[in-house]
Amino acid sequence: MNDWVVFKEVVGNMEADIIKGKLEAYNIPVQIIGEAYSKIVGLEHGDMSFVKILVPREYLEQANKVFEEGA
């Protein structure tokens, strides 16, 4: 079983979807937490609008490199 860790926390679903797509393009597994609630309630600001992007711990360094290099 994978040990999932928070890679990023963003506001709103649009940014989360972009990050998820980029990570998946590098074959990095991704889970998003909070997306459904944000969509249902329609929140795009405030504490309840945060979406957490998780990756398995063993992919965390690779995920950070993807975004550090601007790849």
Q: What is the pLDDT of residue 25?
A: 96
Tokens 């797509």 identify what position? 21
Separation CA 34–CA 15 (nearest Å): 13
Domain chopping of the chain, boundaries: 4-68
- Positions of the chain with pLDDT under 70: 1, 35-49, 69-71
pTM for the whole structure: 0.76
Q: Residue 62 is which amino acid?
A: Q
Q: Which H or E element spans position 31?
A: strand 31-33
